[in-house]
Amino acid sequence: METKEFEFRGSVLNGFLMLFVNIAVLILTIVGIVESIIMLDATGGSQGGWLLGLCGVMIIVNIIMWCGHMQLEPNEARVTTWFGKYSGTFAQTGFFWINPFYGTKKVSLRARNLDAEPIKVNDKTGNPVMIGLVLVWKLKDTYKALFEVDTQTMAAAPNTVGADTKGLMNALENFVRVQSDAALRQVAGQYAYDDEDTKTGEPTLRSSADEINEQLEQKLDERLALAGIEVVEARINYLAYAPEIAAVMLRRQQASAIITAREKIVEGAVSMVKMALDKLADEEIVELDDDKKAAMVSNLLVVLCGDDNAQPVVNTGTLNH
């Protein structure tokens, strides 16, 4: 997306040099005031009055010049305006002095975390689920952040925006929070929680975390680009059924697990019964007709598939009975 941000092109002087100049001007002004008072007391002439007036002007100029100092730490920037017109973004690290009539607003370019509280949404199949995300974001375009989004009225204390970086960044964080909520609802509604019933193999919220996170980052990028915000990382960090259906879904999952376990048990029991019959026939230990094979299969399946230990019964008769 096209940006209107550009680097500050105005005059920038060394802050320590101008600090020395301002202190020197202040000292000279004080000396001038003392001299003008002495002249007025000694002669009462107009020269002392003119010098005192000049010193008063110098005090006003000196106060204005002190306002031109600014200090920037790494990953900080100043957005400058000239009587309301955007004049560029200054992002050099250090201590500087610029024309004090430039309006400046300090912003942070550092990465910030957003741990969103889980929200209730309906998945693709209509089931209510609780889903939350953690988001890492940072400011990329200062022009959009200050002039494309109404950060002034979004801030808790609008008068502090510009003077207080925290007020501006909190306003942007509120914007990110609302847009994250909307993006999360949009993405979660496109996928089912799982496919245990349908077995379609389609991506789900439980089984396709990487794909869901990638889709979530894309939607957040689209929504937050308006405010000049870059998404560093977005991850779903909480996923569960909503409380009103959690108990029912838990019983369904338990039933599904029991059925799966029974299938494995039956599959193993059948293979063991087949192995026993084949072993008896190959080694010619005993000949069994179809009825006795059926009875043996039934008894072995009961023993192998039962939950309780089998109670053996000793048969002292013959197989011919």
Of residues 286 and 89, more confidence is placed in 89
Residue 65 and residue 25 in contact, taking contact as beta carbons nearer than 8 Å: yes
- As a whole number, the mean pLDDT across the chain is 82
Residue 116's pLDDT is 85
- What is the rounded (10 degree) CA torsion for 206, 207, 208, 210? 80
Residue 162's pLDDT is 44
Token readout for 186 is 């949009």
Distance CA 220, CA 138 (A): 13
Residue 321's pLDDT is 45
- Which residue carries 């110098």 as its tokens? 58
Closest to 128 in 3D by CA, of 209, 185, 203, 180: 185
Residue 228 and residue 144 in contact, taking contact as beta carbons nearer than 8 Å: yes
pTM of the prediction? 0.70
78, pLDDT greater than 60: yes
Distance CA 182, CA 144 (A): 20
Strand partners, 120: 130
Distance CA 117, CA 181 (A): 9
Is CATH 3.40.50.720 what the domain over 112-241 is classified as, yes or no?
Answer: no
Closest to 173 in 3D by CA, of 214, 224, 130: 224
Strand partners, 114: 135
DSSP strands (E only) in 221-298: 229-241
Residue 209's pLDDT is 83
Over range 183-208, report the average pLDDT: 80
Token readout for 24 is 């020197």
Cα 36 to the center of its chain, rounded Å: 63
137, pLDDT greater than 70: yes
Over range 114-135, report the average pLDDT: 88
Can you give the residue ranges of every domain in the chain? 12-105, 112-241, 247-305
Residue 200's pLDDT is 66
Residue 161's pLDDT is 42
Pairing of strands 69-72, 128-139: unpaired
Cα 56 to the center of its chain, rounded Å: 54
Per-residue pLDDT tens digits for 14-48: 999 999 999 999 999 988 888 888 777 766 556 66
Residue 12 and residue 96 in contact, taking contact as beta carbons nearer than 8 Å: yes
Residue 33's pLDDT is 85
Residue 315's pLDDT is 58
- What is the 8-class DSSP label of residue 190? T
Per-residue pLDDT tens digits for 270-321: 888 778 777 777 776 767 777 777 777 777 777 767 666 656 665 555 555 4
Token readout for 130 is 């609780």
Per-residue pLDDT tens digits for 217-259: 999 999 999 889 999 999 998 888 887 766 666 776 666 777 7
Among 48-62, 198-212, 307-321, name the one with the lowest average pLDDT: 307-321
Distance CA 163, CA 152 (A): 12
Token readout for 290 is 């179809």
Over range 44-70, report the average pLDDT: 83
